Chain A
Amino acid sequence: MKNILLIDFGSTYTKITAVDIEKEIVLGTARGITTVETDIMEGLNQALGELFSKTGKLEFIKVLGCSSAAGGLKMVAVGLVPELTAEAAKRAALGAGAKIMGVYGNELNEYEIKEIADLNPEIILLAGGTDGGNKEVILHNARMLTTLGKDIPVIVAGNKSVAPQVVRILSESMTEVVHTENVMPKLNELNIEPARETIRGVFLRRIVEAKGLNRANQFVDRMVMPTPAAVLKAAELLGKGTQYESGLGDLMVIDIGGATTDVYSIAKGDPTKNNVALRGLPEPFAKRTVEGDLGMRYSATALVRAASVKRITDYAEVSEDDVEAYVKKVEENIEYLPQNDVERKVEIAMGRVCTCLAVERHVGQLETVFTLAGSAYVQKGKDLSEVQTVVGTGGVIVHHEQPNEILKGATYSESTPTMLKPGCPKFLIDEDYIMASMGLLGEEYPDIAVRMMKKYIVRR
């Protein structure tokens, strides 16, 4: 018997999954409250107690962990042009599983420095300029960051021509300054992988310790990555497969939470129609976006504001007062679950709208341009219209009675014809809530992770 324990120290719950990698089965899952403020082992032991009560005592050959505890990995991204290097830096941070507190472009001023100091990020990613391109702004921003009055790790991923200077300037007041490749070495060329890896390295060295997660170290062999990075990894494995185990092809993953909605896509997203010109920044093959205003509990009011009450009442076929009353209830008590038909309808509609808006912000758009030679199309972002699989994960979807109703928000709608959303995908549900765990497992056993996901992530 070869058992592995996979732990996700979440913001609210510590979720554990025990797998037998010889039989390739999930032995059991359990959860405890995340107790990062006191001793992280308390919540973990609680979860282990629950697990063992179901499975009997288990021995593990390996224990791997990921974490989004204590607010996740909080980052600020700084670049030059908002649509170019600042956007590239943001994407690198998102891909590394970070929670983006702010994105800044152009020359930072004193107000922004004050703002960044107040945001108190755990890592700052500093980009700006293509290689050999603009030098002044990143040098200016490095000097400004030294006036933060805080010792925050900074990752430098800008114009390589001045990288050593930038590192020297920052090192005067920061203990940890790490240099990596430019996130945009040439115009419109995205190179976020090195920055992602570097962020992960800093996360492991610095943040795990700062958050008291290292107290779990005696028990956990390796704290591998932030949770969203684990989900991204799992999605990538499930989509692409490995050398020996085929994947499902292009796919999307939707993860609705209480505060945010995460969308992942594993697809090139090239145009599927003829006569389409691509514009804007190239898209990462494995892309993650997070919407901080779309969530089912903490962000319920923000969600209603973003979507308009009408959009929710249209789906739910209830009155505006019903929606407002329900939103108030769930924000006051985040543990609240729908108790009657009306509330259930509102809950589903909120989920559907979360999915719909989050996916609309994730996918690309097609614009028609009328030229003398007839109409042509301009595509910005990823064309995901031919994606065949949409996977639902996260507490809200996994524990829902009708997850497909929520996921339908991800599909193409005639009312928004320019959005390149999947046409008619099949919906799979991460029933046992194992995706983050499989991302961890996939670090060392990719083939097993792919096979297990294909077995456990199913149609409902």
Chain B
Amino acid sequence: MENSKVKVVLGVIGADCHAVGNKILNYALNAAGFEVINLGVLVPQEEFVNAAIETDAKAILVASLYGHGEIDCRGLKDRCREAGLGDILLYVGGNLVVGKTDFTEVHNKFIEMGYDRVYEPGILPDQVVIDLKNDLGL
């Protein structure tokens, strides 16, 4: 039954319109048995939070591909805490910063910002599914 599926919120944050990866992740997560609440592209932070509250989602998956990820993603964890979603899983991935910055640096920066997992470009959806299942104890 659809309603017993674990729900996850998916979207591309900020002023970013890149839709292809979003569609692929949507497909992969669905196929893996999750109910995906896909907010699509150009999604402000508050919409991720509102969607998660109303649907009782267990994770928020944020993508950013246009290099402004750091600015757009900062503060999402605090918003979640503020909204009573302190325990929700936050994943982020994509081309999070401009240029060829060392990924370890990027990784640490986003972990510090409160994200539970940070993915570098080129990661396959399978890895995200595996991590989600592990983190949620499924």
Chain A contact residues, CB within 8 Å of chain B: 80-81, 83-85, 129-135, 161, 184, 186-188, 277, 279, 369-373, 376, 378
Contact: A277 with B50, CB < 8 Å? no
Cβ of B3 < 8 Å from any Cβ of A? yes
How many positions in chain B have a CB within 8 Å of any CB in the partner chain? 22
**Residues in chain A near residue B51, CB distance under 8 A:** 84, 187-188
Contact of B3 among A81, A83, A132, A134 (CB under 8 A): A132
Beyond A129-B56, A132-B55, list 17 extra A-B contacts (CB 8 Å). A81-B54, A83-B50, A129-B54, A130-B54, A131-B3, A132-B3, A132-B5, A132-B7, A134-B53, A161-B3, A184-B54, A188-B51, A277-B41, A277-B42, A369-B15, A371-B66, A372-B66
**CB contacts between A and B, total, < 8 Å:** 61
**Residues in chain A near residue B35, CB distance under 8 A:** 132
In Å, the complex CA distance between A134 and B51 comes to 10
Contact of A187 among B16, B37, B41, B66 (CB under 8 A): B37
Contact: B42 with A81, CB < 8 Å? no
**Residues in chain B near residue A133, CB distance under 8 A:** 7, 54-56
**Residues in chain B near residue A83, CB distance under 8 A:** 50
**Residues in chain B near residue A188, CB distance under 8 A:** 51
Interface centre among B2, B4, B55 (most CB of A within 10 A): B55
Q: Measured between C-beta atoms, what is the minimum distance from A105 to chain B in Å?
A: 10
User: What does DSSP make chain B's interface, helix, strand, loop or mixed?
Assistant: mixed
CB-defined A-B contacts under 8 Å, sample of 7: A84-B51, A85-B54, A132-B3, A184-B54, A187-B55, A277-B40, A378-B42
Cβ of B86 < 8 Å from any Cβ of A? no
Query: In this complex, what residue of B is CB-closest to A275?
Result: B17
In Å, the complex CA distance between A188 and B37 comes to 9
Query: In this complex, what residue of B is CB-closest to A372?
Result: B66
Within 8 A of A (CB), among B38-86: 40-42, 47, 50-51, 53-56, 66-67
In Å, the complex CA distance between A376 and B40 comes to 15
**Residues in chain A near residue B37, CB distance under 8 A:** 186-187
Q: Measured between C-beta atoms, what is the minimum distance from A80 to chain B in Å?
A: 6
Smallest CB-CB A-B distances: 5 pairs: A132-B3, A133-B55, A133-B56, A134-B56, A81-B50
**Residues in chain A near residue B17, CB distance under 8 A:** 277, 371, 373, 376
In Å, the complex CA distance between A371 and B19 comes to 14
Contact of A81 among B15, B53, B66 (CB under 8 A): B53
In Å, the complex CA distance between A135 and B7 comes to 14
Query: In this complex, what residue of B is CB-closest to A107?
Result: B84
Contact: B15 with A134, CB < 8 Å? no
Contact: B55 with A369, CB < 8 Å? no
Contact: A130 with B55, CB < 8 Å? yes
In Å, the complex CA distance between A188 and B50 comes to 11
Query: In this complex, what residue of A is CB-closest to B40?
Result: A277
Query: In this complex, what residue of A is CB-closest to B35?
Result: A132
Contact of B54 among A134, A279, A370, A373 (CB under 8 A): A134
Q: Measured between C-beta atoms, what is the minimum distance from A103 to chain B in Å?
A: 15
In Å, the complex CA distance between A378 and B42 comes to 8
| Contact status of A371 and B15, CB under 8 A, knowing A129-B56, A134-B56 | yes
In Å, the complex CA distance between A132 and B15 comes to 30
**Residues in chain A near residue B5, CB distance under 8 A:** 132
**Residues in chain A near residue B56, CB distance under 8 A:** 129, 132-135
In Å, the complex CA distance between A131 and B55 comes to 8
Q: Measured between C-beta atoms, what is the minimum distance from A381 to chain B in Å?
A: 15
In Å, the complex CA distance between A402 and B122 comes to 65
In Å, the complex CA distance between A188 and B38 comes to 10
Contact: A134 with B67, CB < 8 Å? no
Q: Measured between C-beta atoms, what is the minimum distance from B10 to chain A in Å?
A: 11
Q: Measured between C-beta atoms, what is the minimum distance from A179 to chain B in Å?
A: 17
**Residues in chain B near residue A376, CB distance under 8 A:** 15, 17, 42
| Contact status of A372 and B67, CB under 8 A, knowing A134-B55, A187-B55 | yes
In Å, the complex CA distance between A161 and B56 comes to 12
Contact: B67 with A84, CB < 8 Å? no
Q: Measured between C-beta atoms, what is the minimum distance from A186 to chain B in Å?
A: 8
**Residues in chain A near residue B42, CB distance under 8 A:** 277, 279, 369, 376, 378
In Å, the complex CA distance between A376 and B50 comes to 24
Q: Measured between C-beta atoms, what is the minimum distance from B69 to chain A in Å?
A: 13
Q: Measured between C-beta atoms, what is the minimum distance from B88 to chain A in Å?
A: 12
**Residues in chain A near residue B55, CB distance under 8 A:** 129-130, 132-134, 187
